[in-house]
Structure formats: C-alpha cells, structure tokens
Amino acid sequence: MRLKETYLNAAVLLGLLAVPLFALVTDEPFTITLVTRAVILALAAVGLNIALGIGGLVSFGHAVFFGLGGYAMGILAHHAQTYTAMDFGAFSIAGTKVMPVIWVVAVTLCALVALLIGLLSLRTSGVYFIMITLAFGQMFFYFAISWAQYGGEDGLSIYVRNDFPGLNTLVPIQYFGICFVLLALALLLFHRLQNAPFGLALNAARQTAARVETVGLTPMHLKLVAFVISGVITGLAGALFADLNRFVSPSMFSWQLSGELIVLIIIGGVGRLMGPVIGACVFVALEHLLGGLTVYWHIYLGLILLSIVLFARGGVIGLLTGKEGAHV
Amino acid sequence: MKHLLLATAAAVFCAGSALADTKIGMITTLSGGGAGLGIDVRDGFMLAIAQSGRNDVEVVIEDDQRKPDIAVQLADRMIQSERVDIMTGIIWSNLAMAVIPSAVNQNVFYLSPNAGPSQLAGPGCHQNYFNVAWQNDNLHEAAGSYANSADYTNSFILAPNYPAGQDALTGYKRMYEGALAGEVFTQLGQTDYAAEIAQIRASGADSVFFFLPGGMGISFLKQYADSGVDLPVVGPAFSFDQGILQAVGDAALGVVNTSQWNKDIDNPTNAAFVESFSAEYGRLPSLYASQGFDTANLILSALDKASPSDADAFREALRAADFDSTRGDFAFDTNQHPIQDIYAREVIQEGDVFTNKIIGVALEDHSNVYADQCKM
Amino acid sequence: MSAILIIEQVLNGLQFGVMLFLMAAGLTLIFGVMGLINLAHGSLYMVGAFAAAAVAGVTGSFVLGLIAALIAAACAGAIVEMVVIRRLYKAAHLDQVLATFALILIFSEGTRWVFGSFPLFLDIPDALSGPVTLPGGIQYPLYRLTLIAIGLAVAIGLWALIEKTRIGIQIRAGENDREMIAALGVDISRLYTIIFALGAALAGLAGALVGAIQSVQVGMGEPVLILAFVVIVIGGIGSIRGAFIGALLVGLTDTLGGVFLPELFKLFMDTGAAQKSGSAIASMGIYILMGLVLIWRPTGLFGTRA
Amino acid sequence: MSDPVLDISNLSKSFGALRATDDVSLTLMPGEIHAIIGPNGAGKSTLIKQICGNLRSDAGRVHLMGRDVSSFSTQARANAGLARTFQISELAMEDSVLENVVLGAIGAEARPWRFWRKALDTPALVERADAALDRVGLQGARDVICANLSHGQRRQLEVAVALTLAPKAFVMDEPMAGLGAEGSKTLTGFLDSLRDEAPILLVEHDMDAVFALADRISVLVYGKIIATGTVDDIRSSAVVRDAYLGEEA
C-alpha cells in the first residue's frame, strides 16, 4: 500500500488538531502541552528544512536561532516583569509581555544574525559548513552560559506566560492554538516557497551549483536568503518554546539541540513539506513512551534512528509513500 | 537486584495500594551526566517511604535528563495530569529555577532535596517552597569559616564560570577573613586543570578552595595530587560524596570538606539510616541520599498532622520540622531554609573504601544571609 | 607572570594538544580515506577509558589497562565498521551524521547500563606519579611529560606508517582515488576495517591515558569529540599533518587563552569582572579560532577536498 | 565583415609548471559554428572554463558582443548572453525535465526572488520552457524525472536549458559524447539549424560531426592553437596531420 503524500499530509495535520481537542474533552491538559511541544519543535524544524531540505545546507548550528528567539522572549519579558528598562547607554528600551511584539523582535534579531553567520559560513561547503555553523553555535552557547546578567547557565524564569491580545495563553488549548496557527502558516510558506521560482532555483543549487551559475543565477545568494528565512522561522519557534516552558536557558543554544532538529527532519523526510512535523511527533512520542518504560530509552532511540538511516531512506514519509526524499 | 528493579521504575512507583491519598511527584536526574546524584536522592527518599509502611502515599518518579525544558514539561504533567500535591527531587539549581516558581504558584508544595538557589531564598521565596538540604552558599561559607579556624591567610580560590560557581566564591569570601592569592573562573565542564594548578603553584598561596561539582572535581583532585603542589585543600562536600570518592581514590585522602551530614553523625536516626540504606542498596549512602531520606521523613511527619488539601495546616506542619533528621538538630528559618550545623570532614580510607570522617563543626546553627530579603 | 609559569603553561597546552591529536588523527584518517563523518569517535574514546579502568581495577596494572583499552577500542571500532559503518560509505553526509549520532546514544546508554552512573576509578601508575624538576627549576608532573612523549611518538609512528609501509601506500592511494585502489587489487573492505580499527585504537588509547588524570564517566567522549572536530577542520579534513598542527593550535589556544585573557583584561577592568569576562571569551576562543581559519581558508590550513 | 560575437584574445592559464592554455586567440562570428579540436589534455576543458568564467585567466581577455567580460563571474557572463552546455550533464537529477528548463527561464529573466507563486503556474516561465523543449524534441518527456532520462535525452535537455537563455553565443562542451551514431546524427542536424539563432563554439571529439557542422576549425595542441581554418584547410594541413592525427595513429 503506497499512500499519496497529500493524503498523508492532511491526515497528519488533522491528527495534530484532533489529539489536543480529544485531550480537552477528556481533561488531559498535559497531552495538550505535549502536542504543543511537538508543534513548536516541528516549526523549528520546518525552518531548518528550508535551508537543509531544499538548499542542502546542513546547519549544525540552528540552535543559535532557536536560542536567540528564546532569549529575545526571556529578556524582554524579564525586563517587563521587573519593571526595568534595557540600558544601551544612549537610549533604553522597556521590556514587553506582548507576544506579537516579542516575535517581531525575535524575528528581526534572527534575520540579522542569520545574515551575518550565513555570509561567513557560506564561503565554505560540505563538512566545513557543518563545522563552522557548529562553531557559531558553541560561541553563542558559551556566551549565554557566562552572561550573568540574564542568569548564565541557570537561565531565566518567566513566571507567567506572555500575553496575546484576546487570548488567555495560560490555558493549554489556547496556547496550542497560537502555535498551531503559526506552524500552519510556516508550512504554507514552505509549500509556496518550495514551488516558487526561488525554491526551484534553490533546489537546483543544492543538486548542481554549476548548472545554476550557468543560467546566470548566483547559488550563494540563493542559499544566503534561504538561510535567513530558515533562521527566522527557527527563531520564532524558539520564542514560542521559551513561552511554553516559561523559561530560557543556554541549553537552547546547545549542539545537541541543533542535532535534534536535524534528526527530526531525517525521521520525517528531508525536504518534504510535512517531514519535520511527522519527525517531531514521532520524536516527542518516542521520548514520552520510551522514557516512561525505561531510563535507558536512549538505546532504543539510537536503534530506531539507525534503522531509519539503514533501511528507510526518505524517513517515515519515504517509507509510506515509497519515494525517497531530497539527497543532502 | 532490587535496586535495579527500582531503577527501571521511572514511570510510576506505588509504595502502597491504589488507595493513595497523597501524591508526591519526584523529578530528578536518572540518566545522562550527573545521574548518580538523582539516583541517590531517589533511593534515600524511597527508603524512608518504604520504612514508614504507609500505603496512602504514592510517589511518581520521572527522569529530567538534567535538561531544563524536560523538567518543566514533566512538572506540567505532574501538576496538570497527575495532580500531585507535593513535588520534590530536583538536583540542579538551573532546573530548580525553571520548575519551582511556577509550580508553587500553582498551589503545589515543593520541597527541595538538593538545590537551593539564592533567588528562592531571598526575594523569590514562597510559602509553598521548602528547602530541606541547604541554601547554595552554606557549604562554601562553612569552608570559609573552616579556613579561618585552620589559620589560612592566603587562599587561592577557583570555581566554574556559571552562577553557582560565582556564588560559591562569594560564599567562601563572605566568611573567610584572610587574603586571596588568586581567584580563577574555569570553564564549565572543563576536564584539564593543569593551567590552573600551575597558577596555584606560582601564586604563593597557603591553601586552596575549590568548587567543582561532578566529574570536574574528580579531574581536578587527581591532577592536583599528581602535580606535587601540596597546599591544603578545602571544598564543599559535592566533590567528596560517597559516589565520587571511589573514582578519585588516594588523591582525595586528607582533604577537608564541609557538609551538613556525614555517616558518623552520632544519632540513632542516622545510624539506622546508614545501616538500612547499605543493606537495601549494597552501597554506603551519600549526603544526597541523606537529603532524600530527610525530605521524605519531613513530608511524612507533616502528613501525620495534616493533609496537603488543607494547605495552611500542612504548611504549618512542615514549618515545625517535627521529624528525626539524620543530621540531628534541624529547624527552618523564616524563609523556610534550614538552620543546621555544618561540619568539617576529612577524607579517610576504611579498608578498601574511601569515605569521610567528621573532624569538627565549621558553623553552628547556621542559616543563610537571604532570610531578611524574604517577605512572605 | 614569570617565565617559568609561561613555560609550564606552554607545556600544558602541548600536552592537551598531543592528546587531541590522538583523537583527531583517527577522525581525519577515516574521513580522508573513507569520506565518513564519524560522530561516534568520542564513544570509542570512552570505551578505551572504561576498558582501561575496568582491567586496571581488577589486575592493578596500568599497562594491562592500556593494552585492554587498545584492544577494546579497536574491536569496538572493527565491529561497528563491519555492522553499521560499511553501509554508510556511499550515503550522504547527513545520513552518516544521523547514524553515528545514533551510535553515540547506544554506546553511552549501553555503557551506563553495564557500569552504572557513577564515575570509575583509574589512577596514574606509581612509577609515573608525582612531579619532576626540569632544567630551569620547573616542577612538572612526570605523567604529563609522558603523555607528550607518547603523543609525539604516535605522531611519528603514524607518519612512518603512512610514508614507509605498504598499508600506508594503500591509504594514500585511497585518499587520492578510491576506485584506483580497487583496481590495484587491494581488498578494500579489509583496508577500511583496518583503518577504522586503527583510528578507534588511537581514540581508545587517548581515552585511557587521559582517563587516568580525569574522570572516567559516561559522556566523557562528546566534549572531546567536538574539540577533535574543531582540530581536523582547522587542519584541513583528511590531512594528518593538518590534524597535528591543528591539535597543537587548539591545545595552546585553549590553555593559554584561559590563563592570559583574564590577565589581559585586568589591565583595564577590576579583578572580578576581568576574571569573568576573560574566562568567558577564553571559552569561546577555539571556536573563534576555527571561524577565523575557515573564513581565511575555507578548507582548513592543509585541506584540499571540500 | 561584421564584428565577432565572441572575441578571445591571448588567453593563458598555468597550473604550476604546466601551461594548460598558452596565448589562445580565436573569434566566433555571427552565424558560424567554430569547432575546437585537439587531443586529450590539449587544454580544451581549461579553455572553456576560462571563456565561461569558471577559471580565472592568468592573462588575456574575453569580449562578448564587443563588451569586455574578462572580469565577469560565470553568472554575469551567462546574463550577458553566453550559454554553456556541459560535457558531463549538469542537471538537477531529482527534478523533472520541465523544472530543469524552467530553471533556465528563471535565469533568463534574472528574477529568482519570487517566493509565492508556483513557478510551474507562471505562464511566462512555462511558455519559454515549452518552446525550448519543443525545439529539441523533448516535449514528450516533459514530466519525466531527470535521473530517469536516457543519456541522449540528457544531452538534448542540456541544449534545451541553454536555449531558454536566448543567448548571444553557445559554448558547447562535447555535446555528442556518449551518443550513438543515430543520436549524433539527430543532434548534428539540430545544431546545424541552431547557428542562425546564435553562433556556436563547439568543442567536440566526434570528427564526423565536426566536419559536417563546422564553418571553421581551430586545432588546440599543448595549450596552443596550431591552426585555424575551414574544414578543407584543416584536412589538408600538414601541421595538423603531424601534431594531431600523427599522435592518434
């Protein structure tokens, strides 16, 4: 039985909506929180999937953007709840607890940093690109650990979730709604972008840079723009993740997190629209179910990942639809 | 074998029947780096629950993998789905800061068996938050006090560059009256201390104070012992607990460290605890195990007087601290952190086993400097 | 800051560097010949340390422990190569990263399952313990001097192996042209297994040697793995010479940065702040170094292939 | 006589001691097919890379339509009107034939910064692509994934992508390589019809094709052009016979 990818995608999205609604009826608020976590991780991975799946940029440092988004939220909310202003010498900025404002700040910050990291990193390729992005991740990680003003390695606690006009974000299903809508928007963007001239050119640049140059396009520019868009979406996910936990810490910058984002995509299917979503759901479910069975659940996670690489190229989607994913 | 079975019971562990009246959620570190501490706390805690023979207390145990976001997620689950009354178990300050403020605001009681960050002792204190171990500064303050009594006048001090490390040096300096030969922040997770040891050698110090928890301490002590620098070393108990000492070996012999507990504290509760813990798990208890054990007994003592559903009465019962602590005298200060003796211990060898022996009291009936800042 | 202290710190940096080289050499060989990114290299380091600690604990002999470390790591490497890695040579880098990441999880939790969560004990042999006095009155631990000597000996040995032996010729041929060696009638899969086991043995050796002065515990491999990757990327992936130079650069930068940056900062800020910011920047030092090298030379110092 | 479309003067490139190309000059006139032949290792690939901007020249200049493009990148030369096909197909193998040709159309419009509307639903792009596919006779394989194409179809697709660029000049690197006799013949006929659209600089090993197509032939040996002339000139040239054919014998 080979499924058509469109049906599979629709089923996954519906499932993602149905589970929390069912949990709402049966009064299982934690299940909603769990699904929200999967949705946010999926959003981060959708971002990475633009760079990695379409553009072939194996960024081992996407935690930079996840963490930046998180810290943008943490710092703004911290100043808002302590009624202090951020002092930049010549001027100062008040904090805020309004989510959309925080998102705009997070997204802008991530765009700037992605532009800078992209400009420097895209001079390299292959393994060197993997490693230079890792290096940037480590720089941010160590910086965050020693940044005592914002908690250093202890991180920053935000005692109540930030506000969204018209909603009560502390109610799990409402916060889930916000995250789900943003994920849906990101998926729409991914889908349009992948099929638009930009995506087509970027996808070709992953496969053959020489061809793209020969038709008069510059692969480096395509990849840089992809990297920035990618970083922005992952950054937005970081801000949501921080709000889900009401907490930010340097672990959001860790290389393990960068690795996990890659893992999510591979589990689902590289370059596939719903790959990150399926990957995130599978990952969170495994973490939850296996983690409940044994403290040695990492062994089983390892075995599952290994089997995916060895026997299921193309991830879950590849397995179900019988089509391999993008080669990176 | 029994402890292996316990170890796999990460999901739900029922001490009694399904009739449980009180649900306790324990989030602690059982896998990955630093799992030894969480395992000790859990084993000490469960020992006390088992010894109480009560069948109306259910303990839900979860592994946080030492990741703050996982801990937060587990806390959400315990509060939202399991609807626990009391939470405990967190080992690390950063995880504590992630979980505790929001948990106690959701009307859950939290009793810390290990971490005691200063924010939660001072302005961030809360009527539902109790610390049964120590405020983070305590053992470092005791080390500073011990340094005075040992007539050290020129200490070289070092700790990793993160909040707990910075607090450690502040705590030591708060009590220590001598001069500083040097003050160094190492990298978190650093494994090689040759550079720092060379600085110590060149500094002209007469003593060394260090706070390097976990594997960092093992590395430091082994390298220090091999360096030929033979200045006396003091530190908090974290690098000298029962789990770590065996990995350090000879290198730790004779080192003085400060702790609120040791297995030779002379009281019947402690003697019984050490004996029953060793019998149950086949290893000597560590201070973490004693903290877990005390936390459980404090909860049990309060449950005898009131139910957590009557929050005010239960809180009063906890405040009274009317239980037999393995540490002897134990009381809560106004910010619900312990007032207790802190001892200086020396590392000795008993047969094949490295362990600690009390050599004196470093600070008597010691509380913490943050109590004044706490307004409840 | 006295000259003695500076010399001692340079020695420390060297010692750190040569140990990193043991890790990086295997990693870079495996990449150079097989084109494989092996994240599980740190696990082989851990296997070496645990094998040494376990055997030294039972027999009381450090040398036996070292031999056990070499054998255990080489065997683990060979088995992993034959069971898993072999299927990945033609796979994309991304698949290799994921598969070897999965191996880390399996190795780490497996080790914890067997040995428990508490660190193991492994000590310096008596004959090598304590400091010696070097010319100029420098007191330096004998064991660390031994590590430097072993590291340099291994470097020379590797050079000789690659330049002077039959297998070295095959390795060099493999780096230049993979089809070529098959055409020459070399048993490729045997050659790959040998190289992988060799790299693993070097990592295991490093784990055991370093384990004696650090803590032998689960997860000890990952920080070293990251550093080893930094080393081979700086040196240029596939180049043994690059790995050697890169290892020394990283070792020296890390050690000297941690010592001298805070001193430097003290010139223009107060002691406490200088300590904090100095060590914060020092902790980023090697990554900054790597970033600069790659921006200057996108394929590392001695790298050719991208 | 009109001005050359492509004017290459004194190009040189050395790799260490090896002089891959040495003071190469040649022109491509409107409407002509100018073939470059030479034994293996003569420097033909190097010369193409220099002309197309993949390799920086040590010396010499390249003019396209009278404009000095010597300092241009590959992309800029493509935008200026230079279309290249590759000896070993450089195609997006995971994509369909249409997508590959649409890529050319996107490049021709030099507007990749469109993020929303589907490329395959954009009439201007698809029409341009379809026209090119029609010309090379690949319309039937429009939706086939490139990796599933036959070798010959890939060669056709290479040319189709070049056609979408509506170039001023083609540079073709052994388009006949690997084609059977039948395929060569078809492609020869097609290239013959292409010369009116834009002149072709043709590097080719297939002598039958070269003699059938070329208006002029240049012979490259050891990085130097030893002779340029009509088919008959070259056939009868003693120098060429010695240096080139002699070597093959």
Tens digits of residue pLDDT in B82-102: 899 999 999 998 899 889 988
Q: Are chains A and C touching, using the cut-off of 8 Å on CB pairs and a minimum of 3 such pairs?
A: yes
CA distances from D229 to C206, D37, D233 (A): 68, 12, 5
Could you tell me which residues are beta bridge partners of residue B27? B62
Q: A295, B8: Cβ pair inside 8 Å?
A: yes
pLDDT of the residue at C274:
83
pLDDT of the residue at D132:
95
CA distances from B226 to A178, B155, B221, B229 (A): 58, 20, 9, 8
Spell out the residues 6+ positions from residue D47 whose beta carbon is closer than 8 angstroms to its own: D11, D21, D24, D36, D203, D220
**Which residues 150-179 on chain D approach chain A with CB closer than 8 angstroms?**
161, 164-165
Distance CA C273, CA A83 (A): 26
With cut-offs at 50, 70 and 90, classify the pLDDT of residue B5. very low
- Dihedral, CA of residue A236, residue A238, residue A244 and residue A247, to nearest 10: -140
User: Taking 50 as the threshold, does the pLDDT of residue B284 lie above it?
Assistant: yes
CATH number at residue A190: 1.10.3470
**Are C196 and C78 spatial neighbours (Cβ–Cβ below 8 Å)?**
yes
**Are B96 and B117 spatial neighbours (Cβ–Cβ below 8 Å)?**
yes
Q: Which two tokens stand for residue B117?
A: 């960050």
A305 occurs within a structural domain: yes
Q: Which positions of chain A have pLDDT values less than 50? A: 1
**Which residues 69-128 on chain C approach chain A with CB closer than 8 angstroms?**
84, 87-88, 91-95, 97-99, 101-106, 108-110, 112-113
A4 touches chain C (CB under 8 A): no
Question: What's chain D's length in residues?
Answer: 249
Residue A200 sits at the vertex; the CA angle it makes with A315 and C88, to the nearest 5 degrees, is: 35
Q: What are phi and psi of B216, to 5 degrees?
A: -60, -40
D114 touches chain A (CB under 8 A): yes
Q: B183, C275: Cβ pair inside 8 Å?
A: yes
pLDDT of the residue at C82:
93
Percent of chain B with pLDDT over 70: 94
User: Taking 60 as the threshold, does the pLDDT of residue B13 lie above it?
Assistant: no
Q: What are phi and psi of D141, to 5 degrees?
A: -100, 20
Distance from CA of B117 to the nearest CA of A (A): 9
- Does residue A181 sit in helix, strand or coil? helix
- Is residue B187 exposed (0-12), middle (13-18) or buried (19+ Cβ within 10 Å)? buried
Distance CA A279, CA A27 (A): 26
Are the folds of B2-115+266-326 and B138-260+341-373 the same?
A: yes
Q: What are phi and psi of C185, to 5 degrees?
A: 85, 20
- Does residue B175 sit in helix, strand or coil? helix
Alpha helix (H) residue ranges in D32-137: 44-52, 74-80, 97-109, 123-136
A327 occurs within a structural domain: no
Distance CA D202, CA D211 (A): 12
Radius of gyration of chain C (CA): 20
pLDDT of the residue at A291:
74
Distance CA B27, CA B96 (A): 10
A185 occurs within a structural domain: yes
**Are A199 and A273 spatial neighbours (Cβ–Cβ below 8 Å)?**
no
Predicted-assembly ipTM surpassing the 0.90 threshold: no
pLDDT of the residue at A215:
95
B9 touches chain A (CB under 8 A): no
**Are C230 and C23 spatial neighbours (Cβ–Cβ below 8 Å)?**
no
What ranges do the domains of chain D cover? Answer: 1-81+169-249, 90-166
**Which residues 46-105 on chain D approach chain A with CB closer than 8 angstroms?**
52, 54, 73-76, 78-79, 83-84, 86, 90-95, 99-100, 102-104
Q: A263, C280: Cβ pair inside 8 Å?
A: no
Amino acid (1-letter code) at residue B305: K
- Does residue C94 sit in helix, strand or coil? helix
Query: Taken in order C149, C155, C156, C158, is the CA torsion positive or negative?
Result: positive
Percent of chain B with pLDDT over 90: 69
pLDDT of the residue at A318:
86
User: Taking 50 as the threshold, does the pLDDT of residue B7 lie above it?
Assistant: no
- When divided into structural domains, chain A yields a total of 1
Tell me which of D49, D73, D118 to substitute to probe the interface with A (most A C-beta atoms closer than 10 Å).
D118
**Are B105 and A157 spatial neighbours (Cβ–Cβ below 8 Å)?**
no
Could you tell me which residues are beta bridge partners of residue B179? B154
Q: Which of D177, D208, D205 is nearest to D192 (CA)?
A: D208
Q: Which of B254-258, B302-306, C50-54, C130-134 has the lowest mean pLDDT?
A: C130-134
- Of the partner residues A152, A172, A241, the one whose CB lies closest to the CB of residue B162: A152
CATH 3.40.50.2300 is right for the domain spanning B138-260+341-373: yes
Q: Which two tokens stand for residue B119?
A: 């924010």
B115 dihedral zone (left: phi>0; alpha: psi -120 to 50; beta): beta
pLDDT tens digits for B29-72? Answer: 987 667 888 999 999 999 999 999 998 999 999 988 888 888 98
Q: Give the other-Cβ count within 10 Å of D127's Cβ.
A: 11
Residue B90 sits at the vertex; the CA angle it makes with A26 and B315, to the nearest 5 degrees, is: 75
Residue with tokens 């036996």: C64
Q: b/e for A42-69, b at 16 or more Cβ within 10 A? A: bbbbbbbbbbbbbbbbbbbbbbbbbbbb
For chains A and B, count residue pairs whose Cβ atoms are closer than 8 Å. Answer: 92
Q: Give the other-Cβ count within 10 Å of A263's Cβ.
A: 23
* Contacts A189 to D, Cβ<8 Å: 115
Rounded to a whole number of angstroms, the distance between the first and last alpha carbons of chain D is 39
CA distances from C174 to A46, B372, C30, C232 (A): 38, 71, 11, 18
A326 occurs within a structural domain: no
With cut-offs at 50, 70 and 90, classify the pLDDT of residue B288. very high
User: Taking 50 as the threshold, does the pLDDT of residue D162 lie above it?
Assistant: yes
- Does residue A114 sit in helix, strand or coil? helix
Radius of gyration of chain D (CA): 18
Q: D1-81+169-249 has which fold?
A: Rossmann fold (3.40.50)
Label each residue of B268-326 as H, E or C: HHHHHHHHHHHHHHCCCCCHHHHHHHHHHHHHHHHHHHCCCCCHHHHHHHHHHCCCCEC
User: Taking 90 as the threshold, does the pLDDT of residue B267 lie above it?
Assistant: yes
Q: A146, B162: Cβ pair inside 8 Å?
A: yes
What is chain B's mean pLDDT, rounded? 89
Rounded to a whole number of angstroms, the distance between the first and last alpha carbons of chain A is 27
* Contacts C223 to B, Cβ<8 Å: 189, 191
pLDDT tens digits for D100-121? Answer: 999 999 999 988 999 999 999 9
Q: A213, D164: Cβ pair inside 8 Å?
A: no
C299 touches chain A (CB under 8 A): yes
Amino acid (1-letter code) at residue C238: G
Residue A200 sits at the vertex; the CA angle it makes with A195 and A204, to the nearest 5 degrees, is: 150
pLDDT of the residue at C165:
87
Q: Which of D7, D14, D5 is nearest to D59 (CA)?
A: D14
pLDDT of the residue at A2:
55
Return the CATH class of domain B2-115+266-326.
alpha beta
Q: b/e for B343-365, b at 16 or more Cβ within 10 A? A: bbbbbeeeeeebbbebeebbbee
Q: A296, C306: Cβ pair inside 8 Å?
A: no
Residue A53 domain boundaries: 5-321
**What is the pTM assigned to this prediction?**
0.89
pLDDT tens digits for B222-246? Answer: 999 999 898 999 999 998 988 888 8
**Are D110 and D77 spatial neighbours (Cβ–Cβ below 8 Å)?**
no
Radius of gyration of chain A (CA): 20
Run of H or E residues at D36: strand D33-37
Distance from CA of B99 to the nearest CA of A (A): 9
| Helix%, strand%, coil% for chain C, nearest 5 | 75, 5, 20
CA distances from C75 to A207, A316, C52, C80, C84 (A): 38, 33, 14, 8, 14
* Contacts B11 to A, Cβ<8 Å: 292-293
**Are B232 and B208 spatial neighbours (Cβ–Cβ below 8 Å)?**
yes
Amino acid (1-letter code) at residue C190: R
Distance CA A260, CA A149 (A): 28
pLDDT of the residue at B12:
42
Spell out the residues 6+ positions from residue A149 whose beta carbon is closer than 8 angstroms to its own: none
Q: Which two tokens stand for residue C161?
A: 């192996």
